[in-house]
């Protein structure tokens, strides 16, 4: 009862007539949806929302996977990116809200069979606990100057040559050391900047923090989202 009372005090269930999230539309092939939670001051509420969204995405991907198998087709892959992962999956957050880590771990372990991938993006890998690092199979490492962070990552990532580890503090913008399961050995790569220009177009429809990315050849269409992004490619 104490936990239920605490949820009620957060006042996040005040709109009984609000529509649910359309996960089928979010997972539509060729669509990119960005959920912006930066205006949520409460970390607890923000993490609850993330966990609920991950649960909904996983369930919808399960449905899509089963439907594709019935007709003998390959399921459409889905990739989920979690920005500022250290805020969501820090050791303190996992201890206080273990259900969050359980949800992430479930996707990381079972998602690959369902064509559902999970990407953690962070500038502070030292804040990610060992439980999270153990879920990661592929790595893209940009410049890391802190020798303590490099030493900790060396214990978690196998197969990276000492010469590559020594380059991490001196990498230029765009350079990275990558370690993927499908590569015979880790490599240093140069990542080209995107040729697209992202233009923000606001539709003051509903205050739902979701974004659709559409290419410049398409006219921006009114969607039930808070913001819409479209990319303008350079002319050939």
CA distances from 156 to 12, 135, 220 (A): 38, 10, 44
183 and 211 share a domain? no
Reply yes or no on whether the pLDDT at 171 is more than 90: yes
Tens-place pLDDT, residues 47-92: 778 888 889 999 999 999 999 999 999 989 999 998 888 887 887 7
51 and 118 share a domain? yes
User: Looking at per-residue confidence, does 94 or 179 come out higher?
Assistant: 179
65 and 95 share a domain? yes
Give Dmax (Cα) for the chain.
62
Is residue 11 in a domain?
Answer: no
- The three-point CA angle 49-55-61 to 5° equals 135
**Tell me, what's the pLDDT at 203?**
40
181 and 205 share a domain? no
189 and 204 share a domain? no
Is residue 151 in a domain?
Answer: yes
* 105 φ, ψ (degrees, to nearest 5): -65, -35
57 and 109 share a domain? yes
* 177 φ, ψ (degrees, to nearest 5): -100, 125
**Tell me, what's the pLDDT at 207?**
39
**Tell me, what's the pLDDT at 60?**
94
Nearest to 9 by CA among 37, 35, 42: 42
Give the C-alpha separation, 114 to 160, whole Å: 29
Q: What is the CATH number of the domain that holds 78?
A: 3.40.50.300
171 and 207 share a domain? no
Is residue 91 in a domain?
Answer: yes
53 and 117 share a domain? yes
Is residue 18 in a domain?
Answer: no
Is residue 211 in a domain?
Answer: yes
What mean pLDDT value characterizes the chain? 78
| DSSP-based three-state secondary structure for 193 | coil
Residue 135's contacts (CB-CB under 8 Å, 6 or more residues apart) are 104, 105, 108, 109, 118
Reply yes or no on whether the pLDDT at 215 is more than 70: no
95 and 52 share a domain? yes
Give the C-alpha separation, 155 to 205, whole Å: 48
Q: What is the reported pTM?
A: 0.72
Is residue 188 in a domain?
Answer: yes
Cβ count near 187 (within 10 Å) = 14
| Final residue in a domain of this structure, among 107, 130, 153 | 130
Confidence of residue 216 (pLDDT cuts 50, 70, 90): very low
173 and 230 share a domain? no
143 and 118 share a domain? no
Is residue 65 in a domain?
Answer: yes
Is residue 170 in a domain?
Answer: yes
Structural domain boundaries enclosing 233: 194-236
| Final residue in a domain of this structure, among 130, 147, 182 | 130
Residue 161's contacts (CB-CB under 8 Å, 6 or more residues apart) are 185, 186
Reply yes or no on whether the pLDDT at 204 is more than 60: no
**Tell me, what's the pLDDT at 199?**
57
**Tell me, what's the pLDDT at 158?**
83
| Final residue in a domain of this structure, among 115, 130, 145 | 130
DSSP codes joined into one string, 60-101: HHHHHHHHHHHTT-PPPPEEEEETTHHHHS-HHHHHH-HHHH
115 and 181 share a domain? no
Name the range with the highest mean pLDDT among 62-66, 98-102, 198-202: 62-66
The count of domains in the chain is 3
| DSSP-based three-state secondary structure for 48 | helix
């Amino acid at each position: 009862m104490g936990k239920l009372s605490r949820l009620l005090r957060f006042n996040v269930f005040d709109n009984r007539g609000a529509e649910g999230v359309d996960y089928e539309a979010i997972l539509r092939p060729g669509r990119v949806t960005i959920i912006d939670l930066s205006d949520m001051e409460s970390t607890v509420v923000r993490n609850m929302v993330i966990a609920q969204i991950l649960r909904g995405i996983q369930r919808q991907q399960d449905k899509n996977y089963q439907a594709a198998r019935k007709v003998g087709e390959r399921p459409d892959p889905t990739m989920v990116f979690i920005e500022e992962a250290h805020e969501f999956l820090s050791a303190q957050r996992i201890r206080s809200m273990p259900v969050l880590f359980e949800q992430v771990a479930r996707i990381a372990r079972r998602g690959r069979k369902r064509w559902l991938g999970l990407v953690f993006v962070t500038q502070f890998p030292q804040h990610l606990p060992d439980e999270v690092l153990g879920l990661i199979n592929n790595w893209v490492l940009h410049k890391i100057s802190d020798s303590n962070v490099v030493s900790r990552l060396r214990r978690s990532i196998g197969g990276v040559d000492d010469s590559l580890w020594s380059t991490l503090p001196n990498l230029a913008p765009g350079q990275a050391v990558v370690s993927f399961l499908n590569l015979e050995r880790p490599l240093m790569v140069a990542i080209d900047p995107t040729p697209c220009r992202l233009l923000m177009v606001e539709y003051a429809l509903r205050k739902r923090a979701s974004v659709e990315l559409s290419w410049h050849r398409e006219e921006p269409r009114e969607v039930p989202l808070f913001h819409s992004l479209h990319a303008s490619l350079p002319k050939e």
